[in-house]
Amino acid sequence: MFFRVIVLSLLCTATSLGYASESECSKLASRVDNAEENYRPPLEAKVIGNSRLYFHNAPSSKCQVKGVFVIKGDSLTVYKSYDGWVNVMFIGKDGEDFIGWVQESKIKVIGQYGRNP
């Protein structure tokens, strides 16, 4: 669990091939950060698949946040989608919350919060 807990405010700082610069991730995150486009009410989803689902600072595989991930069965709150990615929040067992982008194909939407089943 310790490895899953890391501050999401860290921006992409990886400089190896395959990662975007901090500036590129920040620009993309700013471009898609429009609260008017959020789902109202937000959606509830579960992580599917057997591998770790890493959080990203922006909807791009090049903006991965190292060490922050969820696993199969974890519950997520989904705020919006963009080009195959979803902006989500995960609340850990310790109550700490993490917000970021994950691949939409790796989650299963259950429904909207506040709706009767």
pLDDT, tens digit (0-9, with 9 covering 90-100), for 16-63: 345 678 889 999 999 998 878 899 899 999 999 899 999 999 999 999
Residue 117's pLDDT is what? Answer: 58
Mean pLDDT of 111-116: 79
Q: What is the CATH number of domain 2-110?
A: 2.30.30.40
Which tokens go with 20?
Answer: 């975007």
Is the pTM value of this prediction over 0.85? no
Specify the length of the chain in residues.
117
Q: Is residue 10 predicted with pLDDT exceeding 50? A: no
Residue 13's pLDDT is what? Answer: 35
Residue 36's pLDDT is what? Answer: 80
Q: Is residue 3 predicted with pLDDT exceeding 90? A: no
